[in-house]
């Protein structure tokens, strides 16, 4: 009887502790949500040199502003770059919309975006360098990735993901390379480990990553199948695809062909459907997927987690990749473009002031190659 009473009392205290922890957690979340803020009130009240940039104080496309902000000054290890072109990636609309929502809890800003500046991919001219910078000098033409690329100027650590732009590339071509090109290269070379003669399928072959991936897989000697809609079949063929599947007519997961590597930029099939078309030792590389209004709370991360678990129980490898910034890869990609082995496909070019329209277009999910921003 006594033991029963003790157990009952322990259970009561454990339940009480759990309820208290939940209550404290909810209050902490509520406080963190309302305290979540950014530097918007100080942005325009600056005294020094100014420049035009895209700024957003709250989530949502309607909140993007083309405005004057303080021109940045490089630290000892940085370059000051006059941006001549930038490019837009789904990465940017994830930040604009704050989706999937889990991103907000992971440091992007619960109620408002913590960082009010947008953009990553850029190409431009070095205007000044910090005193420790030896690799670059004023006048050099560079390209790569940096936060705040949707602006007239940016500061970038000289040892970060930046490389010299070969003279044979336009600023627009160079700006198109960073995220999409590096992702495609690392998907084909590092994750897919594509070998000459292998059969490689690229789902979403006509988008930013896909147009690079088709050409890179081809340059590795693969037999490439691109999946896109009818209006893009000619484009994908012109990039070197040996076969094209029009997804509006045929479902590649239902066909008889088996692939050594599937690079999936759309992730619109279940893992078991995608596995069905893999050879016994095939590799499925999930790059991303889901349109801007399909992100929900976890977006592609849910499928990535499933793939990591699923992969443990099967012979094939299935998983999501995360592209890694790399100056070496930037240089390699630029050399491939300069030598004619790779062609950045540019769908549309917008002005910096038109960035909301550029992002709205990308959010529709049907860009043909890259959407570029020309910066005056
Ligand atoms: N994991 C990483 O490190 C990483 C890096 C970069 C990007 N990503 C992710 O990868 C994904 C692709 O990026 P992206 O820059 O290529 O995007 P994107 O340029 O917006 O891709 C648009 C393309 O997707 C095609 N598409 C749409 N629905 C399709 C379907 N059902 N089947 C086949 N193709 C379809 C469209 O072709 P149609 O017009 O013919 O429909 C269009 O050409 C995004 O989710 C992005 O967030 C991940």
SS3 of 141-166: EEEEECCCCCECEEEEECCCCEEECC
Task: Say whether pLDDT at 332 is over 80.
Answer: yes
Distances (CA, A) of 361 to 4, 102, 104, 292, 327: 66, 24, 23, 11, 29
pLDDT at 366: 95
Q: What is the pLDDT of residues 286-305, one digit of tens each?
A: 999 887 778 888 888 888 99
Distances (CA, A) of 151 to 163, 347, 362: 19, 21, 19
pLDDT at 300: 85
Q: Is 145 in the pocket of ligand 1 (CB under 6 A)?
A: no
Alpha helices in 257-313 (DSSP H): 271-276, 301-310
- Of 329 and 24, the structure prediction assigns the larger pLDDT to 329
Residue nearest to atom 25 of ligand 1 (CA): 204
- β-partners of residue 79 are 129, 156
In whole angstroms, what is the distance from residue 321 CA to residue 37 CA?
31
Q: Are 210 and 265 in contact (CB under 8 A)?
A: yes
In whole angstroms, what is the distance from residue 139 CA to residue 225 CA?
42
Tell me the pLDDT of the chain averaged across its residues.
93
**Each residue of 119-129: b (16+ CB within 10 Å) or e?**
bbbbbbbbebb
Q: Is 48 helix (H, G, I), strand (E, B) or coil?
A: coil
In whole angstroms, what is the distance from residue 84 CA to residue 141 CA?
10
Give residue 293 CA to ligand 1 midpoint distance, Å: 14
Task: Say whether pLDDT at 42 is over 90.
Answer: no
Residue 346 banded pLDDT, cuts 50, 70, 90: very high
DSSP per residue, 6-34: HHHHHHHHHHHHHHHHHHHHHHHHHHHHH
Give residue 17 CA to ligand 1 midpoint distance, Å: 46
pLDDT at 298: 83
pTM, to two decimals: 0.92
In whole angstroms, what is the distance from residue 234 CA to residue 42 CA?
50
Residue nearest to atom 13 of ligand 1 (CA): 209
Q: Is 265 in the pocket of ligand 1 (CB under 6 A)?
A: yes
Give residue 158 CA to ligand 1 midpoint distance, Å: 30
pLDDT at 171: 98
Q: What is the mean pLDDT of residues 160-189?
A: 97
Q: Is 303 in the pocket of ligand 1 (CB under 6 A)?
A: no
pLDDT at 36: 72
Give residue 291 CA to ligand 1 midpoint distance, Å: 9
Alpha helices in the chain (DSSP H): 2-35, 40-43, 90-97, 102-103, 171-175, 178-185, 208-219, 233-238, 271-276, 301-310, 327-338, 355-363
Residue 31 banded pLDDT, cuts 50, 70, 90: low
Give residue 19 CA to ligand 1 midpoint distance, Å: 43
């Amino acid at each position: 009887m006594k033991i029963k009473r003790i157990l009952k009392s322990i259970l009561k205290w454990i339940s009480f502790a759990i309820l208290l922890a939940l209550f404290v957690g909810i209050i902490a979340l509520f406080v963190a949500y309302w305290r979540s803020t950014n530097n918007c009130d100080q942005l325009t009240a600056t005294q020094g040199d100014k420049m035009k940039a895209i700024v957003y104080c709250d989530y949502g496309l309607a909140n993007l502003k083309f405005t004057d902000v303080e021109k940045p000054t490089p630290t000892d290890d940085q370059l000051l770059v006059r941006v001549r072109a930038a490019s837009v990636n789904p990465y940017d609309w994830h930040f604009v919309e704050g989706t999937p929502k889990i991103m907000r809890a992971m440091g992007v800003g619960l109620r408002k975006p913590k960082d009010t500046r947008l953009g990553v991919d850029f190409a431009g001219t070095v205007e000044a360098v910090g005193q420790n910078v030896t690799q670059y000098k004023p006048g050099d033409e560079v390209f790569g990735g940096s936060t705040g690329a949707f602006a007239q100027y940016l500061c970038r650590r000289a040892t970060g993901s930046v490389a010299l732009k070969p003279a044979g590339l336009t600023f627009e071509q160079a700006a198109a390379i960073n995220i999409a090109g590096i992702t495609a290269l690392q998907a084909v070379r590092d994750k897919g480990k594509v070998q000459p003669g292998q059969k490689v399928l690229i789902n979403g072959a006509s988008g930013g990553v896909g147009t690079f991936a088709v050409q890179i897989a081809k340059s590795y000697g693969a037999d490439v199948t691109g999946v896109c809609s009818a209006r893009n079949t000619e484009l994908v063929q012109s990039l070197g695809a040996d076969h094209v599947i029009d997804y509006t007519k045929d479902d590649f997961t239902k066909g008889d062909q088996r692939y050594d590597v599937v690079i999936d930029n759309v992730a619109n099939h279940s893992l078991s459907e995608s596995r069905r078309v893999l050879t016994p030792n095939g590799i499925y590389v999930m790059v991303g997927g889901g349109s801007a209004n399909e992100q929900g709370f976890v977006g592609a991360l849910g499928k990535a987690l499933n793939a990591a678990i699923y992969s443990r129980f099967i012979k094939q490898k299935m998983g999501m990749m995360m592209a890694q910034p790399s100056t070496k890869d930037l240089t390699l990609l630029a050399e491939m473009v300069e030598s004619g082995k790779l062609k950045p496909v540019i769908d549309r070019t917008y002005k910096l002031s038109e960035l909301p329209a550029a992002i709205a277009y990308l959010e529709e999910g049907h860009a043909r190659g890259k959407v570029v921003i020309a910066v005056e």
